[in-house]
């Protein structure tokens, strides 16, 4: 956990979640919780392609490295950590919490798979946002070839190799 006395940048995690529909959960460590978005198609490395990201409930920091299977009901299914690392704000005037509240988040990810500038932009109407690789600013992301489906930590969802 990062906090006021911790000089390290805050963490991010992307969890691949095989629930009723496969999606990716993008989470940012902000003010002692994991701010979370469900991204049905996962992150894109094409800056021209925006992906839907729906803001969902915050999760506790203990969920950061969760891998396993959720039981029956809402969210049931296998979860792996697809990528993780640290992030920093690309807005020198606002904290991550302020950017989220304003509906425009520009961050730099330093992950095991993803590295580069990324944007979450709230759309009209509230919880939905688009997430895009921010190559237009010269801070584009990168990911190894066929980023596919290998877990960044342990385990994987069956049938991905």
* Residues 18-69: tens digit of each pLDDT: 988 899 999 999 999 999 999 998 888 887 888 888 889 999 999 899 888 8
Would you say 10 and 87 are in contact if contact means Cβ atoms under 8 Å apart?
A: yes
pLDDT of res. 144 = 44
pLDDT of res. 71 = 75
More confident residue, 89 or 156: 89
Q: Quick check: 146 pLDDT over 70?
A: no
Give the pLDDT band of residue 6 (cuts 50, 70, 90). low
Would you say 66 and 56 are in contact if contact means Cβ atoms under 8 Å apart?
A: no
pLDDT of res. 148 = 47
pLDDT of res. 130 = 63
The backbone torsions φ and ψ at residue 62, rounded to the nearest 5 degrees and listed phi first, read -70, -10
Would you say 42 and 58 are in contact if contact means Cβ atoms under 8 Å apart?
A: no
Strands 33-39 vs 51-60: parallel, antiparallel or unpaired: antiparallel
Would you say 65 and 12 are in contact if contact means Cβ atoms under 8 Å apart?
A: no
Q: Quick check: 136 pLDDT over 60?
A: no
pLDDT of res. 76 = 77
On average, the pLDDT of the chain sits at 79
In this structure, what DSSP letter does residue 55 have? E
């Amino acid at each position: 956990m990062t906090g006021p006395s911790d000089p390290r940048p805050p963490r991010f995690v992307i969890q691949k979640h095989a629930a009723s529909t496969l999606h990716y959960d993008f989470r940012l460590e902000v003010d002692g919780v994991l701010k979370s978005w469900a991204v049905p198609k996962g992150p894109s490395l094409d800056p021209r392609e925006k992906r839907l990201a729906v803001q969902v409930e915050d999760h506790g920091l203990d969920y950061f490295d969760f891998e396993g299977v959720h039981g029956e009901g809402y969210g049931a299914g296998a979860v792996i950590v697809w990528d993780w690392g640290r992030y920093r704000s690309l807005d020198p005037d606002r904290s991550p919490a302020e950017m989220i509240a304003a509906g425009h988040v520009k961050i730099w990810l330093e992950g095991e798979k993803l590295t580069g500038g990324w944007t979450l932009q709230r759309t009209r109407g509230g919880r939905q946002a688009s997430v895009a690789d921010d190559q237009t600013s010269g801070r584009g992301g990168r990911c190894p070839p066929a980023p596919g489906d290998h877990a960044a930590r342990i385990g994987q969802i069956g049938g991905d190799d």
